[in-house]
Structure 1
Amino acid sequence: MIPLPLAFGAPLFTHARIRSTPEDFQVDELPSFEASGEGEHLLLDIRKRDANTQHVAKRLADWAGLPEMAVSYAGMKDRHAVTTQRFSVHLPKRVAPDLAGLASDEIEVLSSTWHNRKLQRGALAGNRFKLVLREVDGDAGAISERLQQIALRGLPNWFGEQRFGRDGGNVPAALAMFAGRRVRKDQRSLLLSAARSALFNQVLAARVEQGSWDQPLDGEVWMLDGSRSVFGPEPWSDVLAERLGRFDIHPSGPLWGAGELRSVDAARELELGAIGDEQSLELRAGLEAAGLKQERRALRLRPALLQHQWLQQDVLELSFALPPGCYATAVLHELGPVS
């Protein structure tokens, strides 16, 4: 994995601890729709502690006496954390077992209601985070100023280390898969995502080093804020400058796949140069052969409702909300290393 550059200057501390307890990393999923109150899909809002999403999904399937494919969720959540998220369980006979059977130290059912559709992946408005950093040895004033910069300007929209597995092992595993190693279907999807994410991060790293991660390049492809819609390239104009300034649009980078790269001119040259090494070419070829199509992702991320407070002299609490698919570690990266 390439080292990720910093957009705002040197780290403000040399080390901080996170996840000393699961309560130090809290995530609340923000739903994107209201339940209909009818139908044969039971929507459950669940708070989980120190348990991963797939483990909870299996528990729900066992509780309902159904195959795991009858349980769905909008997004994956961290294991070593306290998180709330939605699950849906398909119960065609509209008879649910006693919810008390789910109660444990890991799982608490906050609410349940019926809905007329299965919960789809990505069906969330975002996530709200509350993080506690301990053993922080840094200047409180400088940290406050850095957070104000982030709130005003946004920050690079990195894929987080979770995407790449323990010790970054998902990318080598993806290369092995592309070379012919057989993997399970669920693992295949994970490795394809890791390969795509690694290439995106390399492009974003080049833009950060150039200072253009939140600025236009000739041939830029623009992404609308809060959506996957893109447009351009088109000539730079006062209208685009105004939209960029109010975070209505963002520069974008490639999520690699088959098809023509949409960017042109300087943007295209930078993108291809950033992923032109031998390993990147192997990843690109593997993604194309796997049938993925060219897509785009915003290079810039703006946390909402960013706040901080010092709980003790060396204990910093951060809270903010992020759009779907964005990582809290991108915020932490601009402050200093955490583990």
Structure 2
Amino acid sequence: MRIKCLPTDFQVDEILSLEPTGGKYALYELRKTSITTFSAVDRVARAWRIPREELVFAGLKDKHACTTQGLSIFEGPRKNLSIDGLEVRYVGQTPRAIHPRDIVCNEFLVIVRDLSDADLARSVAAVREVNEFGLPNYFDKQRFGSLGESGEFVAKAWCQGDHERALFLAVADPNSHDSPSDREQKQILREHWGNFGEAVDLLPMGLSLQIAEQLAIGKPDYKRALTMLKHDLRSLLLSAYQSDIWNRLLSSVIRDVVPASILFEETIGPRRLAMFHTLDPKSQRELQDLMLPLPSARLHLPPGPLYDRLAEVLAEDGMTLRELRVKYPRDTFFSKGDRAAIVRADELEAIPEADERYPGKQKLLLSFSLRRASYATMLVKRITALEMPLASESDETQSGESPDDDFSSRESSDNPSE
């Protein structure tokens, strides 16, 4: 069984509610193939000679795929653009920039190849189970791509006021997604941490050098150096830790609600989390409409079972809900809102066909739509029992890839649904 043999085997179309009713913001449809959202937006900015921060998008889309998504530019050019790997189609004018809440859903077409008859039977059975019971709405593993070899979340140290440790994890902790150049620069920083003047002499031009130069002046100001990270990356670093806490909260709820006899575990990011194939009627009633809040200091939970359960999860990290915030800089903060515990794909269909790439085998065409902030990778893995060949969200800022999730280059941190 194989996934993503071709870019066209994974197609994503972002469906928006934002209409071109007039205004100062130009709205575009960005179509890309085999390129990250961040890289695509950077290319558009360079091609049109527009500051990168003026380009706003609502959702990250997969690199190894054919995807379409919205893009806004204040007083942007009213024309199309075609450059290698992407197409930009001018749609019209809107009164404001695009926002994650404008995403109605994402529509998918996924082709799974090289299936035996037994593979096909298992996958079709899994489709029936997902249609009936749904699946846990966990943040998938690409959400945690910023987690380095240390296994420590940058945002945890940041919240605890350990700015030096947070910066070290962000710029010096080795990561499996690092490019050779990134690996080399991180090694230089690790070997000369605290002696930043020496690091300055060895680092090439770029952000690592700029940070080392800043730290080499007088007493190192690690808190200020954190602000030199791109806002996009800072937001993703906070999202990674918040998502890990939320995943553990949901797993705790599922273990409490669902009988142990129908539970199993799956590794998602750094954790082993509770999963199920089917649900008994009582569990289904308790979970099907359950919404769980995204944890942060801005969350005002009344005393009760949910508050106690979240407190237990945070206590595992030596944290409290009140501490789950970043005091500086003020433009970086945790998201707020609620997230469904269980996700169901709308119009999930599975059509088997002969596989033209693998004679004698079958392929399965999966078509479905998902609400924003839910991961297609979770659904496809559930149906195929295969790991998706994805990189990480944080790699988007370092020429990697991203999930089928919500992100706005300027407004994401306060996304009310994430």
Partner AA of 2:343 in structure 1: L
Q: Is 2:126 the counterpart of 1:151?
A: no
- Separation (CA, whole Å) in 1 of partners of 2:115 and 2:155: 36
| 1:125 partner letter | V
Deviates more, 1:169-178 or 1:327-336: 169-178
**How far has the Cα of 1:62 moved from its partner?**
2.3
Q: 2:314, 2:320 within 8 Å by CA — same for their partners in 1?
A: no
Q: Could you tell me how far 1:325 is from its partner in structure 2?
A: 0.8
User: Which of 374, 383, 386 lines up with 1:337 in the alignment?
Assistant: 386
Return the alpha-carbon distance in structure 1 between the equivalents of residues 319 and 373 of structure 2. Answer: 25
Which of these residues, 289, 314, 326, is aligned with residue 250 of structure 1? 289
1:288 counterpart SS class: coil
**What SS class does the counterpart of residue 289 from structure 2 fall into?**
strand
Instruction: Supply the AA of the counterpart residue of 1:133.
Output: V
Equivalent residue for 1:126? 105
Aligned to 2:413: none
Q: Which moved more, 1:27-36 or 1:310-319?
A: 310-319
When residues 174 and 21 of structure 1 are mapped into structure 2, their CA distance, relative to the original with a 3 A threshold, is farther
Distance 1:186 1:26 in 2: 25
Equivalent residue, structure 2, for 1:19: 4
| Number of the residue aligned with 2:64 | 80
Distance 1:328 1:263, change over 3 A: farther
Aligned-residue offset at 1:319: 1.2
CA distance in structure 1 between the partners assigned to 2:39 and 2:72 by the alignment: 14
- Structure 2: which 5+ residue stretches go unaligned? 168-224, 260-280, 328-332, 356-360, 390-418
Q: In 2, Cα distance between the equivalents of 1:125 and 1:307?
A: 20
Q: Write the deviation string for residues 143-182 of structure 1: whole angstroms up to 9, x where unpaired.
A: 2222112112221111122211167668533345443124
Q: Does structure 1 residue 321 correspond to structure 2 residue 369?
A: yes
CA distance in 2, matches of 1:167, 1:175: 11
Alpha-carbon distance change, 303 to 197 in structure 1, aligned in 2, over 3 angstroms: same
2:73 is matched with: 89
Indicate conservation of the 8 Å contact 2:239/2:335, yes or no. Answer: no
Distance (Å, rounded) in 2 between the aligned partners of 1:39 and 1:108: 23
Task: Please give the alpha-carbon distance, in whole angstroms, between the structure 1 residues aligned to 2:373 and 2:126.
Answer: 23
Q: Distance in 2 between matches of 1:132 and 1:113?
A: 33
- Out of 173-182 and 152-161, give the one that drifted further: 173-182
Q: Deviations over 1:188-209 (max 9, x none)?
A: 2111100000011111222333
Moved more, 315-324 or 62-71: 62-71
- Contact 1:48-1:106 at 8 Å conserved across structures: yes
Q: Deviations over 1:207-264 (max 9, x none)?
A: 3333449xxxxxxxxxxxxxxxxxxxxxxxxxxx9xx86x9x7212232111565265
User: How far apart, in 2, do the equivalents of 1:131 and 1:283 lie?
Assistant: 41
Contact map agreement 1:134 1:316 (CA 8 A) in 2: yes
Residues 1:299 and 1:67: Cα distance change in structure 2 (over 3 Å): same
SS in 1 for 2:318: helix
Contact 1:44 1:112 in 2 (8 A): yes
For 1:1-339, list aligned pairs within 5 A.
Answer: 16-36=1-21, 38-91=22-75, 96=78, 99=80, 102-136=81-115, 138-165=118-145, 172-178=153-159, 179-180=162-163, 181=167, 182-183=225-226, 184=229, 185-212=231-258, 250-259=289-298, 262=301, 264-277=303-316, 280-282=317-319, 287-290=324-327, 292=334, 295-311=337-353, 312=355, 313-335=361-383, 336-338=385-387, 339=389
Amino acid in the other structure paired with 2:295: W
Q: Structure 2 CA distance, aligned partners of 1:172 and 1:255?
A: 17
Taking the aligned partners of 2:66 and 2:315, their CA distance within structure 1 comes to 40
Q: Is 1:27–1:83's contact at 8 Å kept on the other side of the alignment? A: yes
User: Are the counterparts in 2 of residues 29 and 128 from structure 1 also a CA contact under 8 Å?
Assistant: yes
Question: What residue identity is the alignment partner of 2:145?
Answer: G
Per mean C-alpha deviation after superposition, the further-off stretch among 54-63 and 169-178 is 169-178
Residues 211 and 70 of structure 1: is their aligned pair in 2 closer, same or farther, counting only changes over 3 Å?
same
Q: Secondary structure at the match of 2:255?
A: helix
Gap change, CA 1:283 and 1:135, over 3 Å in 2:
farther
TM-score with structure 1 setting the length? 0.73
Pair 303,168 (structure 1): closer, same or farther in 2 beyond 3 Å: farther
The answer on whether the counterparts of 2:120 and 2:362 sit within 8 Å (CA) in structure 1 is no
Bigger proportion of residues as helix: 2
Between the aligned partners of 1:134 and 1:27, the Cα distance in structure 2 is 18
CA distance in 1, matches of 2:10, 2:323: 35
Mapped partners of 2:256, 2:319: distance in 1: 25
Deviations 1:47-92 (A, max 9, x none): 110111122222222233221122111111111111001111222x
**Who is 1:231 aligned against?**
none
Contact kept, 8 Å, 1:258 with 1:294, in 2: the verdict is no
1:266 Cα deviation (Å)? 3.8
Give aligned-pair identity as a percent: 27
State the distance in 2 between where 1:295 and 1:35 align. 27
Q: Secondary structure at the match of 1:250?
A: coil
Structure 1: any 5+ residue segments left out of the alignment?
Answer: 1-15, 214-240
Q: Distance in 1 between matches of 2:142 and 2:30?
A: 22
SS in 2 for 1:319: strand
CA distance in 2, matches of 1:72, 1:106: 19
